[in-house]
Structure 1
Amino acid sequence: MHDSEPALFTTEQAMRNVKPRVQAAVAQGSFLAVHEAQAAGASEEMKAAIPASYARAWSEIDAFLDQRAGDIDA
């Protein structure tokens, strides 16, 4: 392979590379949502529910990416 040729990844490698980036984006979204809720005067209960909601979303996204990688590789 020449330096000018793009690197080719397997689906498993691509999923392994994308997962930390997606997880970081979800975490950043959670952080920003909590700060927005705080600025809007949300209750402590509401602010505590936001990270839990984002954690559930990440679990679903993670499972989807794992399933998708399996579907493509199969």
Structure 2
Amino acid sequence: MNNDREVLRDSLIRLVSMDVSEKEEDGLIGQINKISPDPNWSDYIYQTDAFVSADGAINIDDVLDKIFAYRPIRL
């Protein structure tokens, strides 16, 4: 899982850098969807300011903590 976290961290950093083409962005999103245990990971990037620091940067480590804290509900 530690390797997944590192790959996910690198992918999220590239994604939020906004320095990727649309094709690269689609590839990153696909990769993140495969690795992330939390299906709502993109909400933490695009839909909330909870992980944004005072300087406006997204705290990727806090986002990763939230993603890997996810536990699915077993029915």
TM normalised by structure 2 equals 0.35
Structure (1/2) with the larger helix percentage: 1
Please say which structure displays the higher CA radius of gyration. 1
Larger RCO (CA under 8 A, 6+ residues apart): 1
